[in-house]
Structure 1
Amino acid sequence: MNFSSSIRSTLEQIPTCNLKDRPRQEVLLTTLYAWTQLAREHNIQYWIAYGSLVGYVQRRGLLPHDQDTDILMLSQDTRHLVPFADTNFSSIYELKVHPQWHYIGYAGRSYYPEKGFNFIAPNARFIHRKLRYHVDIWPIYDFHPDRPKNRTNVTTALTEYDVSYRWISSPIEWTFPLTPCNFSSILVWCPAKPESIVANLYGQSAVTKTNKKCVNQTWVSA
């Protein structure tokens, strides 16, 4: 079965709430797939995160209401994306790397709307040129940004944004070693203990319970 057939089959298993859901879900998945191909070709390390990780834990794929997909990269690895930023590596997709990606935390960053940067917290975005659905590429650090660096110690934790854009840490063994996993028929990289990370970020209930429901053709808080 080729990728297009796999996606069509997968989409049949994802609930919809209105007529706009299915086209959005399809573009999100095809955009994520395109990202995985770029990452594989150039040996770029990443793993799914945030809402996409919740989707993987709950249903092994895309949450029906999601408006984007999310991945994490060690912040220093963002440099591997820079050669593809604002280039014509694809007629369908573009990669925007924030000019201040090396600034730790979003507070010191600026928007550059004239250059297409309407985001500051992610380090980069992989974007469908026409439809603008995207993969958010978030930073994660092998040190705590609010604490002095001590490179004499072995890294035991990784630190990322929580849902309120504060720093939250988790044991490094929850993430590494990464494991290949199937996300809505797309082969992606997952952290070693996805359920533990989801519970740490969103609470234990998020491992099994969705926070959205369909009411009158609209996704609302459950």
Structure 2
Amino acid sequence: MSSTPARPTAQDARFAVDDAGLRVPVEHAGPWRVAFDGRVVLSLTTAPEGDDDVAEAAWVGVTSTFLDGVSHVTLHRGEEEVDLGEVAFGSGEGRVDFSDGEGHPVVIDKWGLAQQPFDTRGADVPRFLAERALELCAIARDECGIELWIAFGTLLGAARSGSVIPHDSDIDLAFLADDDTPYRLHAQLYALRRALSRAGLWVVNKTGSFLTVRYDAPDGSDVSIDVYTCFHLHDLLYETASARAPLPREAVLPLTTMTFEGLELPAPADPSALLEVSYGPGWRHPDPSFEHKPSYAVRSRFDGWFGNAMRRRRDWEVHWESAGRSGSASDFSRWVRQRVAEGTLVVELGIGRGDDAVAYARAGLPVAGLDYARQAGRAVIRVRGQIPRSMLAWSVVNLYDLRDCLAWGAEVARRGEERRVVVARGTLEALRPEERDGFWALVRMLGRRSAGLLLELDESTGVGEEGRDGTWRFPATRAEVREAVARAGGRVVEEVLVGTDECQVRGGVRWRMVADWPQPSSPRQEKR
């Protein structure tokens, strides 16, 4: 732990917070809610470390990016409150401010991400989402024969008060699938996605049993509705990857209705039975110490049955949320710009902050980029209005989702530019070796009939480990690149050693590689 003085007013000085996290006496280990200047921002669960008489918890996710300045910190658990007084974080200048770039107050959720809860949003946002939920229910019923109902936190809010839970941030819906095989359950959810997409909605698949529909709220914020698949298998009801219980079909169907934000929304036949499975027998009353921890058996089954299109997405979103808001283009991008003729479309697989993409566009190279993290592309947002969208565009694309890759690749291929080049820097080794199918599928689609592939690779043969930038890197070799390019009908024509100091992986070496396809000409064409 850091030695930053906390000046606590608590009687036991073992209660403390600093730049690293929270510390409490070991006899007080467990969950605590942490408030800054009177507003609860996050919950942390402290645990003993070795034989010490204290229990600790590090700040989660993006929390540290907000901790710069001074704040009056209090800890809360049930009726218990511990006042730590004024605490200095980071530079110690100004006040700690948990708000987003537009000044909206945020909290830190259990994943470590900054979220805007309902109690900090416009008063019309909950009603707006309830209306959208009714529309989703109608589309699912009319187009797919699927009966959606309010679930999880939304059902809990309806049962307790008929409204959203103040610290919640989205709406949850679910449906009981008719099938019990992963293949047919996948197909049913994707049929629902296609129906929602045809209706003009922005839909993102998270797993084979979970999708999200995103909206622009009346207050200008980004809001969402999650839709989950539920099903019966061997007399057990499975609710997404969070619950498995011996509940009969009659606990769900036939659906009834419950009042939620002044509207009547479909609800399960026995709401209390489902809520007890998710939140325990005390679900009727808020319990700040409650922690929902799905069993390993449930989580591992769902991961095997339905996959996970969010693998490490939150890690990358935390990384780009906390990364600097501005930077300069990489040496790799300068190397690319020296080799590619003006007007060539740059297809960038993994734009990160977007500094390279901006540099390409300013050099007369139109850009079509992708990234996994929704918090990526900050440099692109910064120059919006200065560079035409036709010259600089990027999309959130999931390289773990082959459907997503193929759909985006087809859109890029239809753009019709006479020349394009595929570039990637640090993207391949950010994926586990067994999870690179989407990356190479795009190279096969877009590498053919292109000016080639320009790649920067941190070559490593060891196990996956944390890089110097805090993100994980996994074994990747030039041999893998040569083989994958050959399978795509191309060949690696140049390999340039950059050095060891630049490599993110300890003991690794950084290389730049050029792959070419027989037609058209080589990407090693000098810029004219």
> TM bucket by the smaller chain?
0.5 to 0.7
Q: 1:82 to 1:200 in 2, by over 3 A?
A: closer
Residue equivalent to 2:255: 178
Residue equivalent to 2:123: 22
Residue equivalent to 1:160: 239
Return the offset for 1:169: 4.2
Q: Distance in 1 between matches of 2:267 and 2:119?
A: 28
Q: 1:59 to 1:159 in 2, by over 3 A?
A: same
Aligned residue-pair number: 158
Structure with more contact order per residue of length (Cα contacts < 8 Å, sep ≥ 6):
1
Q: Which runs of 5+ in 2 are unaligned?
A: 1-117, 178-184, 289-528
Alignment identity in percent? Answer: 20
Return the offset for 1:96: 2.7
Alignment pair present for 1:124 and 2:211: yes
Q: 1:161 to 1:44 in 2, by over 3 A?
A: closer
Q: Which runs of 5+ in 1 are unaligned?
A: 1-15, 102-121, 145-155, 213-222
Residue equivalent to 2:273: 196
Return the offset for 1:193: 0.8
Residue equivalent to 2:170: 68
Q: 1:17 to 1:176 in 2, by over 3 A?
A: closer
Residue equivalent to 1:209: 285
Whether the 8 Å CA contact 1:53–1:194 is kept in 2: the answer is yes
Return the offset for 1:143: 0.8
What CA RMSD, in Å, does the superposition of the two structures yield over aligned residues? 2.8
Return the offset for 1:52: 0.9
Alignment pair present for 1:134 and 2:224: yes
Cα deviation, 1:46-78, whole Å, max 9, x if unaligned, reads 211110111121112322332011111235342
Q: 1:85 to 1:33 in 2, by over 3 A?
A: closer
Letter of the structure 2 residue corresponding to residue 94 of structure 1:
W
Residue equivalent to 2:202: 94
Q: Distance in 1 between matches of 2:146 and 2:263?
A: 16
Residue equivalent to 1:82: 193
Larger Rg: 2
Letter of the structure 2 residue corresponding to residue 210 of structure 1:
P
Alignment pair present for 1:34 and 2:111: no
Alignment pair present for 1:53 and 2:159: no
Return the offset for 1:35: 1.7
Whether the 8 Å CA contact 1:175–1:193 is kept in 2: the answer is yes
Whether the 8 Å CA contact 1:31–1:134 is kept in 2: the answer is no
Instruction: Tell me which protein shows more strand as a share of its residues.
Output: 2
Letter of the structure 2 residue corresponding to residue 126 of structure 1:
V
Q: Distance in 1 between matches of 2:165 and 2:226?
A: 15
Whether the 8 Å CA contact 2:236–2:245 is kept in 1: the answer is no
Q: Distance in 2 between matches of 1:65 and 1:31?
A: 20
Whether the 8 Å CA contact 1:159–1:168 is kept in 2: the answer is yes
Return the offset for 1:168: 3.9
Cα deviation, 1:104-134, whole Å, max 9, x if unaligned, reads xxxxxxxxxxxxxxxxxx5211221574311
Q: Distance in 1 between matches of 2:203 and 2:228?
A: 13
Q: Distance in 2 between matches of 1:28 and 1:210?
A: 23
What SS does structure 1 have at the residue aligned with 2:167? Answer: coil
**TM-score of the superposed pair, with normalisation by structure 2:** 0.27
Letter of the structure 2 residue corresponding to residue 66 of structure 1:
D
Return the offset for 1:17: 4.5
Q: Distance in 2 between matches of 1:209 and 1:26?
A: 23
Letter of the structure 2 residue corresponding to residue 204 of structure 1:
P
Whether the 8 Å CA contact 2:256–2:267 is kept in 1: the answer is yes
What SS does structure 2 have at the residue aligned with 1:192? Answer: coil
Query: Could you list the runs of 4 or more consecutive aligned residues of structure 1 that deviate by over 4 angstroms after TM superposition?
Result: none
Return the offset for 1:79: 4.0
**TM-score of the superposed pair, with normalisation by structure 1:** 0.59
Q: Distance in 2 between matches of 1:50 and 1:143?
A: 20
Whether the 8 Å CA contact 2:149–2:267 is kept in 1: the answer is yes
Q: 1:161 to 1:33 in 2, by over 3 A?
A: closer
Return the offset for 1:181: 3.1
Letter of the structure 2 residue corresponding to residue 33 of structure 1:
L
